[in-house]
Amino acid sequence: MWKYCKHFTISGLYLGATIGGAVAVERAFSVPGLGLSLIYAVQARDWTVIQSLVLLFAVAYIIINLVVDYIYAFIDPRIRYE
């Protein structure tokens, strides 16, 4: 059981790394997306867009990890959050 739960809890971190990897892929293949918008905003020094996208990525990362933690607690009843 530990083998499967361990992979599940690490999946939240992998999803966070996927967000960062999407920026590199969008830049390499010129695919339009939020990552490419962030790169253009950094190049143009558009601070409002930079702050908005960084906040969006951070909130998405936190929500993904929170959902993974709650699902892990649901799967393994020995885990209790107080």
Residuewise pLDDT in 10s, the chain (82 residues)? 555 555 666 766 677 777 777 778 887 888 888 888 888 999 999 999 999 998 998 898 889 888 888 887 787 777 766 6
Residue 12 one-letter amino acid: G
Q: What is the CA radius of gyration of the chain?
A: 16
Cα separation of 5 and 10, whole Å? 9
For residue 60, give the nearest of 10, 9, 18 by alpha carbon: 18
